Chain A
């Protein structure tokens, strides 16, 4: 607003005797907004347009002032705070204090008074009272909009008074008329009789210029917008004016005559303003409005309708921040009543006055620092025109068009949260594509979707991979192990006559092997952040944690339906309290890190710890099962999240009644052994009280909340329904059954989260087969996650999964049977141009083995892999220099030797969080501190160092060499051939063979020289199984170790 600068610069202009033209230039600068005061509505009250007024003359004293200037002037452009500055420029400034700031809202250029408040000077304004007494004249000019036509008292707008019956002068509102009272010799000390403006003078939908004047002859007048409404007389001198009264706005000094409405400007003069001056003020105002309006796109000329035109704009551009759940600035533009009420910064929409509406100012970017929406594309002129027209037409908004919760509405439209309906399988014009599920063509629906997309994009898919490579691929994918030379030979033979049949049979064999569960359990254990110790400072071992790991392996091997798999992990103890696996399944919740804190520690530290642990459980459940980041909502509502803070705490209620605990009990008859389990269990049937913590701070209990599930994934049913149902089917009396309710909601495809649960697991499994998910952000199916590359395929597979009893083995069979899975990694330049990263599945890309598969593959090649399934974990030897943590409650043993037990598959390895296994750490095994759905695949020097120097690798190389058992009379070529088949699943090419033989010849020579020079290696010679001379053993071990370092060993084609 320009009031203050006017007054200030006016002073400066005068005191420095600058010519008028400069002042005008300055004024123009304000108008143009070049001094960043773009919004100048309605102002200009005190900008006197008559050039004569700017004749240079010295400033007068602070009390005796220019006749043409207001003695006090307020323009309400502060925008915040509890002070209204006096902009008259006449010292002393009589600033006003707002005594109840919570009852006002600052607008762009006005102050909205929404409750009884006194806005008053700190002391009687001597300069004002003295000047008016001296001149005997006054003018009160007020620019305002009344909030209602029913306020009376009169409601005091401007008053210089001491109480309801003692005043110098008051301008007020009596219903639909303005009313002025002035104390003079001929009136009462209360200023009676009053001068009324007559009925229907007050407007509550536009700003009015209200002027009360008194000339020194006693004539009084009330003018509204230039129209003389009433004249009267208050004769005599003003010598009886009290000098004790304060100037008060919007109320009586006593506080009992409140006026509600918007104050845009108030000025009081010690003279009568001429009609011309008042007209100038209005003209300045209108011209300002014109200037202002010129900066705003023109109103739409055709009629607009809220539902068709306006609602969609608000929804798309405003509600993310200004809707229920995220009422930034207190503004809600989703609900009619709230929108018209405005926010903390005042009214946003002023019906029938678009130019006064902050909404328009903001979207038109009149002030860049306050432009909306921030950091995004501005609204188009057409959109602004629609809003402008709509407001000017009265801002009609049918209540039925309210958006009660835009977050949910927006989220419900998000693809991942929509109901799960199987899309139609695209038809094919390729006569070779099958139409029905047969064992050897089970993947056909996938190919229909994939091929349709490739065709649409004009990409020619690549050829099928060679048989040996396919066997290696599918064996690693399904079991995490390489095919044995025997399997390879058998498959090659069978595939020669019936490739499809041989492949289908192989897939069945692999799916039926124990290794399948061991492989896929490892993937899920990443998601469940499973480990065998507490993590944190003490890192105490969890000797019973492995029961959960065995549950997962067994579940995958037994093809436990995925919905049951999930339900048991959340509430197995409530759903099947007598089944070992169901109890062990709750290890999903307990697998995260924990700290045992002494009771003497600060309560605060223990509470913090407790809530961190609960957060970890809930966050893992959200991300792992639903691909949803719920953790952010712990502290605040986030505009992008599907889950609000309140919903977070309502979800947390499901876990809040329980904790991790170790139990010992028998399963089966009395003779059976006690089994120890690390489980999650409720303390009692009575749910614990859960609080919503403000900003995630557990010291700030905001409100109590009950169990609840996110609305975006719940329809036609409530958490109470789930809870009641769960309790009706209860099998024990000592648990709250809130987790059973959570589980029921989680797997409910129709009304709960089941549709998302199915999509997420399909995508996880797809990712592990193809390297990337159909949704690449496998842990984020929220509105900020990636969109699926093949949405319909994903939905079809998810629906197929649900329809077929959530059988994961069936899903695996589908996926590995499709042609897209069996494509080659060879790429054409056309593929690289059109499908460079293979996201359209025109070709496959080689994939690096995970750390565990690498270790298992080395053991398999060495022939020393110990294939005992299930049972307690083994602790591998770890170099003492890799153990660098102190203060562990259970230290890691430093004296472990390799035994058959330590040569079991990696999934059975004891994972101690604070003492990670170095080989795994180098090859990107996640640290099991948070859920991990997608491993990194880095390429760093420590990996190379491990291959070169890790004792585990060297020992396997020695074993591998022993397995090859080259006889002295056997050709090197022969042995290399055998080594290649074992390690890489193929025979060497001629040039490779030559390279390898060269290496071995040199190595043998060198090694023989070395062993001749020194004593025979005692370790080698003492090994009774070795018939080889030590030099030969070492040379072949060097060779085998080099095979472990080949990309072909580490990457699956």
Chain B
């Protein structure tokens, strides 16, 4: 008996979950194409024992849409278990908002204001403890504390699960942004939105499955924050602009009319069809013909989805579009709603500017609250009245939080050791709170929540077992949650 149990090509059965069959198995494709179910065999996605060769994919990877192109890696798929949420809107507060000044007041900080404590800070030179400049009140049935700058958001606290003990692995914006988005504080890994569209596909046929509404000045770390990493590029986030051309290459050149382009499309289609007939066993060729038609439809639909003039005045006002301070973020929140209504799976909305209050915290946070307070209220109200909140997970949070001690006299430095994120909507038990930081808000002390835990919870709500959503790359099966992550089940409804 030798260690290799069998010298034949048997490795697949020895390590059933370690194989990738992406696009390799033409036989299986041909069989399924015959029954109208042509699809990439996402064997790895479904985890152990589901090699495309050994097991035909179940209905969980079938297309539910007649008009979906065959061989469409974005066709909607069922997850591992029943999903509470089918879509996500992630309000990303770039720069790192301060928990102790917004949702998690610390009386000890007020009392010991000015006292020096032993603490490590990113930029060096820690100041003394600094009390919050804001007033706090309790709101809702749950009695959650919210600061006076977030009075509109405060109306919704009974929908929130406050995750007060989040921590991450880097003091530095970009690694922390990468970690919050991809689980790993380094560039080059797929973003959560990419993993999710890889796992579940998208309901939208005419829009990308993962849309990013960036901020006016650009996000630190750039598009690597919504990159598909080593996953196929199909799953990368698409940046939508709120003004001008919403998506790159969406508008025709000036010299080409709609009719000109239509006739180009028809010519390509005829010649491509003819060509494809010579290759009956190559699904890519057919898929590409359909990609042109999809692109054509997308030109119309993407332009429509960003056209906020189609909304009523009441709705526009609800999102704060009438106030110059909140117009930009409000527009993006409204667009996020329009996108998920169109079937987009995952929308990430970056706040404008940065919550990065190294100095003048009062001004910084007052401004950012003013920019986001009404829009968030509007979004939650609107989602609720349209019945969308029960299937949409809304997340609010930054890449890290801020220190309890002062910096430059009136600011706060980065703090990855303890910060706050809240979730609301689909599958979330409202009015709950998990975890605590210490008496100052410096470090997560009770039930610390890692970024992997946040991701695991997000995936769980979407019906995905985070340990089984894998992709094989460079000799290893990767996950969004790496080798960690625990679902925070106390916040689940």
Contact = CB atoms under 8 A, between A and B. Distances in A.
Contact of B474 (A313, A779, A938, A951): A779
Contacts of B224: 535, 913-914, 927, 929
Interface stretch (A479-487, A572-580, A1037-1045): A1037-1045
Contacts of B271: 992, 995-996, 1042, 1046, 1048
A881 B245 CA distance: 8
A881 B241 contact: yes
B59 interface: no
Nearest to A882: B248
B372 to A, nearest CB: 19
B217 A939 contact: no
A948 B172 contact: no
B190 to A, nearest CB: 11
Contacts of B288: 939, 943-944, 1047, 1050
Contacts of A954: 253, 256
Contacts of B256: 954, 1038
Among the interface residues A414, A1038, A1047, which one has the most CB atoms of the partner chain B within 10 A?
A1047
Contacts of A1007: 260
Contacts of B279: 825, 846
Interface string B1-30: 111110001010001001110011111001
Contacts of B19: 786
Contact of A1042 (B218, B268, B276): B268
Contacts of A884: 214, 218-219, 222-223, 239
Interface stretch (A593-601, A853-861, A898-906): A593-601
B384 to A, nearest CB: 32
B222 A914 contact: yes
B24 A837 contact: yes
A945 interface: yes
Given A316-B2, A941-B291, A883 B218 contact: yes
A537 B221 contact: yes
Given A601-B172, A929-B187, A886 B285 contact: no
A930 B474 contact: yes
B355 to A, nearest CB: 14
Contacts, number: 273
A916 B294 CA distance: 24
Contacts of A937: 23, 284
B51 interface: no
B474 A629 contact: yes
A1003 B260 contact: yes
B434 to A, nearest CB: 26
Contacts of B221: 536-537, 885, 914
A924 B233 contact: yes
A236 to B, nearest CB: 62
A918 B248 contact: yes
B42 to A, nearest CB: 13
Interface stretch (B116-124, B141-149, B332-340): B116-124
Contacts of A846: 279, 282, 285
Contacts of A1048: 271-272, 275
Contacts of B173: 537
Contacts of A316: 1-3, 5
B475 A1046 contact: no
B171 to A, nearest CB: 5
A304 to B, nearest CB: 13
Nearest to B207: A941
Contacts of A91: none
Nearest to A308: B1
Contacts of A913: 187, 224
Contact of B174 (A537, A779, A1006): A537
A836 to B, nearest CB: 4
B73 interface: yes
A423 interface: no
Given A629-B475, A939-B291, A995 B267 contact: yes
Nearest to A312: B1
A205 B15 CA distance: 40
A623 interface: yes
A558 interface: no
Given A312-B1, A885-B219, A1038-B256, A629 B476 contact: yes
B249 A949 contact: yes
Interface in A966-1011: 991-992, 995-996, 999, 1002-1003, 1006-1007, 1010
A825 B282 CA distance: 10
Interface string A602-622: 101100100010000001000
B30 A921 contact: no
Interface in B196-223: 208, 214, 217-223
Contacts of A787: 9, 11
A932 B228 CA distance: 14
Interface in B20-48: 20, 23-27, 30
A313 B1 contact: yes
A918 B233 CA distance: 12
A758 to B, nearest CB: 19
Nearest to A608: B170
A421 to B, nearest CB: 17
B120 A602 contact: yes
B263 A999 contact: yes
A623 B248 contact: no
A915 B222 contact: yes
Contacts of B9: 787
A1038 B264 contact: yes
B2 A413 contact: yes
Contact of A845 (B25, B245, B282): B282
Contacts of B450: none
B81 interface: no
B232 interface: yes
A996 B267 contact: yes
A781 B123 CA distance: 44
A951 B251 CA distance: 10
B133 interface: no
B478 to A, nearest CB: 11
A995 B295 contact: no
Given A886-B218, A918-B248, A1039-B267, A944 B292 contact: yes
Nearest to B214: A884
A940 interface: yes
A410 interface: yes
A938 B222 contact: no
B227 interface: yes
Among the interface residues B171, B241, B249, B255, which one has the most CB atoms of the partner chain A within 10 A?
B249
B281 A827 contact: yes
B255 A537 contact: no
A833 to B, nearest CB: 8
Contacts of A600: 123-124
Interface string A623-637: 100011101100000
A539 interface: yes
B188 interface: yes
B387 interface: no
A315 interface: yes
Interface in A821-857: 825-827, 832-833, 836-837, 845-846, 848
A107 interface: no
22 contacts: A316-B1, A414-B4, A537-B221, A539-B222, A602-B171, A628-B475, A784-B18, A787-B9, A885-B219, A885-B220, A886-B219, A886-B220, A938-B232, A939-B234, A939-B284, A942-B247, A945-B249, A1039-B267, A1041-B264, A1042-B264, A1046-B271, A1047-B272
Interface of B: 1-5, 9, 11, 15, 18-20, 23-27, 30, 71, 73, 120-124, 170-175, 186-188, 208, 214, 217-224, 227, 229-230, 232-234, 236, 238-239, 241, 244-245, 247-253, 255-257, 259-261, 263-268, 270-272, 274-276, 278-282, 284-285, 287-289, 291-292, 294-296, 298-299, 474-476
Which 5 A/B pairs are nearest by Cβ-Cβ distance?
A885-B222, A929-B188, A629-B475, A780-B475, A944-B295
Given A886-B217, A951-B253, 4 more contacts: A315-B3, A825-B279, A885-B220, A944-B294
